[in-house]
Amino acid sequence: MRFFAVFVSFFILNNLFAQSNDLQVISTSGSSFTYENYIVEYTLGELAIDDVGNGLILTQGFHQGKLAIQTEIKEIDFKINLFPNPAHTHFKVEFNSPQTVDIILTDIKGKIITREKLVNQSSKYYDLSNLSQGIYTFTIIDSTNKQATYKIKKIR
């Protein structure tokens, strides 16, 4: 009887303290990144999901319930003409009415070639003669941070 009481006590204590419902990840690799209000955490491992009954789901590895990515880049609401493209020595940008905008011309690696503010202008020529052949990005940003981006192909 004494053996039975010890066995039952051990069994009850073992079941009370042996399980934990804390959320935790055990993985051989992974990381976490934080920027402002955003947190990205990931682990590497096999994906395994199994329904064990009674509404319980056993998981191993990574699975994402919900993933939402939002961007708010608003496009410029006035007409823009950019020509010629591809360009040999220069190109011209024209607006349908005089505009005040920021202009950024960058190379394919993101290096800024030209950055300037156009004030109340309806057109502008840009000289490409000193640039090597390749693809360039031409970005126009208005006073409300709306933007338009174009690829300019510089040819010989």
Task: State pLDDT tens for residues 2-20.
Answer: 777 776 676 676 666 555 5
Rounded mean pLDDT, 118-128: 95
- Distance from C-alpha of 62 to C-alpha of 27, rounded to nearest angstrom: 10
Helix H or strand E encompassing 136: strand 134-142
**Cα–Cα separations (whole angstroms), residue 118 to 103, 107, 109, 111:** 7, 20, 24, 20
Between 135 and 30, where is the model more confident? Answer: 135
Average pLDDT for the chain: 80
Of 26-30, 34-38, 100-104, the range with the highest mean pLDDT is 100-104
Please state the domain extents for the chain: 2-60, 80-154
Q: Is the pLDDT confidence value at 42 over 90? A: no
Q: Which two tokens stand for residue 111?
A: 């290096």
- Distance from C-alpha of 4 to C-alpha of 13, rounded to nearest angstrom: 14
Q: Which two tokens stand for residue 58?
A: 């056993």
pLDDT the model gives residue 2:
74
Q: Is the pLDDT confidence value at 132 over 90? A: yes
- What is the fold, at CATH topology level, of the domain defined by 80-154? Immunoglobulin-like (2.60.40)
